[in-house]
Each structure stands twice: as C-alpha cells, then as structure tokens.
Structure 1
C-alpha cells in the first residue's frame, strides 16, 4: 500500500513541487544549465499559463490538495509547475550530456 501523501492537506501539491524542485536544482547545478532552464521556462510559460487557465475554467481538471492561492486565475502551485517541468527536462538533458562527454585530461 502506498503512503497517503494527502497528509499535508492544502500544502500537498506545493510540498511535492518543492521536493521535485530540489531534484531539478541538483541537476541544474551539476550540469550548469541554470540559464538554459530559465530561458526555456520563460518561453514556454505564456503557453502553459493559457492552457492551464483554459482547462481550469472549463473544468477539465481540479486540484483539491492546494493552498487556494491564485495568481491570474491559476493556482500558485501550477505557476511553480510551469517552471519546474522545463527545469527538470533541461537539467536531465544537460546532465546526461555532461555524463556522456569525455572529461578532459590534465593539461601539462
């Protein structure tokens, strides 16, 4: 049986984002891709915001375990999510690239 993550009540969604955000931050730190992740998130943000706003307005999905704080008609947790996903993707991609590239040897 899986643990009940709803124990954090209205902070559940935000808490899970903070946990995954720490993973994304670790990947970005390792790969040095902070600027790429920010640039990617900023480019995607308007599209993600419009999509989230629309789907919430028409009732496609509902987020019960959230704080209730909204910005531009969208839960604050969704705004965090819109930055977290691109950060995780870029961090993963760039970390894998760094792992695959050979390390330069010592120079004399």
Structure 2
C-alpha cells in the first residue's frame, strides 16, 4: 500500500509532488548539461499544453483534489507547474540516457 501523503500535506499535496518531481527533472537536466535545451522545448510545448489543460478542466474531464485553490489564467497553479515538470522530466531522462558524454 502506498503512503497517503495527502494526509500529511493536505491542500498542498499536488504542489509538493510537482516540486519533488521538478527537482528530479532539474537534477537530470543539470547532470546532462541540458537545461537550456530543455527550457526551449518546454517553452515550445507550453502554449499547447495550457490550452489542452484549460479545455479539459473546463469541460470536466478531470477534477483536481488536494490543491491550493490558487488559480492563474483560469487553471490551478499546480497545473502550470505540471506543464513545466512533465516535459522537463521527459527531456531529462532522454538526455541522461542518450545525450552526449
């Protein structure tokens, strides 16, 4: 059984998870010397991710519990972080596995 971090972090659970995985992404990108390349990729993907996220939240595809309740540009602040962390983590793993040595 997985630990219930929601009982510990409450409304900050989603935010904490984004910070933890964001730190992992940063570490991988730093190690692979790919921070700049990842930033360009994330920036290119962000507008599409934002529209997709806004739309799916608006029509009710999913609902986010255990979040701060702070919104920015119509979506939870945690979702903005998610849209930065996920592609950064993917690029971080890719660069770590296949980048130049």
**TM-score normalised over the length of structure 2:** 0.94
Matched, 1:65 2:73: no
Matched, 1:41 2:61: no
Q: Report the Cα distance in structure 1 between the residues aligned to 2:13 and 2:53, rounded to whole angstroms.
A: 19
Q: Report the Cα distance in structure 2 between the residues aligned to 1:95 and 1:14, rounded to whole angstroms.
A: 25
Corresponding residue number in structure 2 for 1:90: 91
Any residues of structure 2 matched to 1:48-59 within 5 Å, and which?
A: 48-59=49-60
- 2:63 is paired with a residue of what secondary structure? coil
- 1:3 is paired with a residue of what secondary structure? coil
In the TM superposition, what whole-angstrom CA distance separates every residue of 1:49-82 from its partner, at most 9, and x where no partner exists? 0011111111100001100000111100000011
* Alpha-carbon offset, residue 86 of structure 1: 1.1
RMSD of the alignment, in Å?
1.1
Q: Report the Cα distance in structure 1 between the residues aligned to 2:2 and 2:75, rounded to whole angstroms.
A: 29
Corresponding residue number in structure 2 for 1:5: 5
Corresponding residue number in structure 2 for 1:23: 24
